[in-house]
């Protein structure tokens, strides 16, 4: 802890000797702040500041450049909902890849499906993968499944060179800095080309409460490429405003016609058959964002 203090934690703040994570959402002019029980890990990679903290409310929390990413207390919500829904929508997925999401939580969910032969996670920062393995999920969990591999490469480059995926999971960060390229038409086109003729992709598309333009633009861009595009919602306690959108885009299969008997929900903490369908029911204010 002393060593860390000397480096002057860039994205933390200290009040009366108590460390806090502070996440300011410019669009909403609001902050969410988390009291740090202990700072478990801190390092600065060539790409970003990476830290893991222990919290009372969320368990262990991965923080990148000061922004809370995922926690052991509720990470299952995001991981289950971004993976099971596209995987179930496809009747027989064999090749699955995720771009982003260094904790590989989506891969962990994908492993529950016997039909899947290949699970690739594309994560730019090897240090994020390593930190997550040490602090969030033990290495052994992944090592025992030979279908799983991690590629350390920029997702934007990777997608240009890789093809024939049944399911792609675009676990992108918010559109800030370099990540802006993950929100552009060219990227959407590359993703389309990276899928099989009946392939399916899912994108995280921001908070429909304070980030309406990300949701609207993603939806519109995908509608230009894919015959089936549907938005679904999850509530992530860690994220400001809670409400979060995901968009599924599909060349052939409609998630609303999915064979729910395939859902591997014996040990899930969030998803179940009713929730699969109900997550596609949108409040009127979200429908208006998509239609306007």
- Residues involved in catalysis: 171
Neighbours of 258 (CB within 10 A): 21
Q: Which of 25, 62, 170, 247 binds its own copies (CB under 8 A)?
A: 25
DSSP code at position 199: E
CB of 185 to its own copies, least distance (A): 29
* 242 lines the binding site for its own copies (CB under 8 A): yes
Neighbours of 163 (CB within 10 A): 12
Which residues have a Cβ under 8 Å from the Cβ of 210 and sit 6 or more positions away?
Answer: 25, 27, 28, 30, 240, 241
Please say which residue, 7 or 273, places its beta carbon nearer to its own copies.
273
Q: What is the contact mask toward its own copies in residues 189 to 218, using x (rule: CB under 8 A)?
A: ------------------x-xx--------
Instruction: Count how many Cα atoms sit within 13 Å of the Cα of residue 212 in the half-sphere of its side chain.
Output: 10
Q: Which of 7, 10, 14, 33 binds its own copies (CB under 8 A)?
A: 33
Task: Locate 215 and state its tokens.
Answer: 């949701």
Was 123 annotated as part of a binding site?
Answer: yes
d(CA 217, CA 282): 17
Task: Locate 193 and state its tokens.
Answer: 């080309």
Nearest one of 42, 44, 40, 98 to 72, comparing CA atoms: 40
* 241 lines the binding site for its own copies (CB under 8 A): yes
Sign of the alpha-carbon dihedral angle for 226, 230, 233, 234: negative
Please say which residue, 77 or 99, places its beta carbon nearer to its own copies.
77
β-strand partners of 95 = 118
CB of 47 to its own copies, least distance (A): 27
Contact 132, 62 (CB under 8 A): yes
* 174 lines the binding site for its own copies (CB under 8 A): no
Q: What is the contact mask toward its own copies in residues 44 to 63, using x (rule: CB under 8 A)?
A: -----------xxxx-----
* 98 lines the binding site for its own copies (CB under 8 A): no
* 227 lines the binding site for its own copies (CB under 8 A): no
CB of 217 to its own copies, least distance (A): 20
Task: Locate 267 and state its tokens.
Answer: 């040990």
Sign of the alpha-carbon dihedral angle for 46, 4, 237, 277: positive
| Residues in binding contact with its own copies, number by CB under 8 A | 49
Q: Which of 243, 249, 258, 263 binds its own copies (CB under 8 A)?
A: 243
CB of 35 to its own copies, least distance (A): 4
* 35 lines the binding site for its own copies (CB under 8 A): yes
d(CA 86, CA 201): 7
CB of 19 to its own copies, least distance (A): 12
Q: Which of 4, 32, 40, 179 binds its own copies (CB under 8 A)?
A: 32
d(CA 152, CA 265): 30
Q: Which residues bind its own copies (CB under 8 A)?
A: 20, 25, 27-35, 37, 55-58, 74, 76-77, 207, 209-210, 233, 235-237, 239-243, 265, 268-272, 274-275, 277-285, 287
């Amino acid at each position: 802890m002393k060593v860390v203090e000397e480096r002057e934690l860039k994205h933390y703040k200290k009040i009366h000797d108590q460390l806090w994570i502070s996440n300011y959402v410019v669009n909403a002019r609001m902050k969410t702040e988390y009291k740090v029980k202990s700072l478990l890990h801190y390092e600065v990679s060539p790409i970003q500041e990476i830290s893991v903290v222990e919290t009372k409310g969320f368990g262990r929390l991965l923080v990148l450049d000061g922004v809370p990413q995922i926690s052991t207390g509720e990470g299952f919500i995001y991981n289950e909902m971004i993976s099971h829904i596209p995987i179930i929508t496809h009747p027989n997925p064999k090749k699955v890849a995720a771009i982003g999401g260094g904790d590989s939580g989506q891969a962990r969910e994908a492993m529950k499906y016997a039909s899947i032969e290949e699970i690739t996670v594309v994560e730019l920062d090897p240090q994020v993968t390593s930190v997550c393995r040490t602090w969030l999920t033990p290495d052994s969990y992944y090592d025992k499944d030979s279908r799983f591999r991690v590629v350390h490469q920029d997702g934007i480059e990777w997608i240009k060179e890789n093809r024939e995926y049944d399911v792609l999971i675009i676990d992108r960060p918010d559109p800030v800095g370099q990540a802006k390229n993950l929100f552009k038409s060219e990227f959407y086109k590359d993703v389309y080309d990276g899928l099989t003729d009946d392939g399916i992709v899912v994108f995280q598309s921001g908070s429909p409460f304070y980030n309406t333009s990300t949701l609207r633009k993603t939806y519109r861009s995908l509608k230009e490429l894919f015959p089936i595009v549907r938005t679904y919602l999850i509530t992530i306690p860690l994220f400001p405003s809670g409400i979060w959108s995901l968009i599924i885009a599909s060349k052939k299969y409609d998630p609303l016609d999915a064979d729910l008997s395939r859902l591997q929900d014996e040990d899930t903490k969030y998803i179940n058959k009713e929730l699969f369908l109900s997550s596609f029911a949108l409040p009127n204010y979200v429908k208006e964002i998509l239609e306007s």
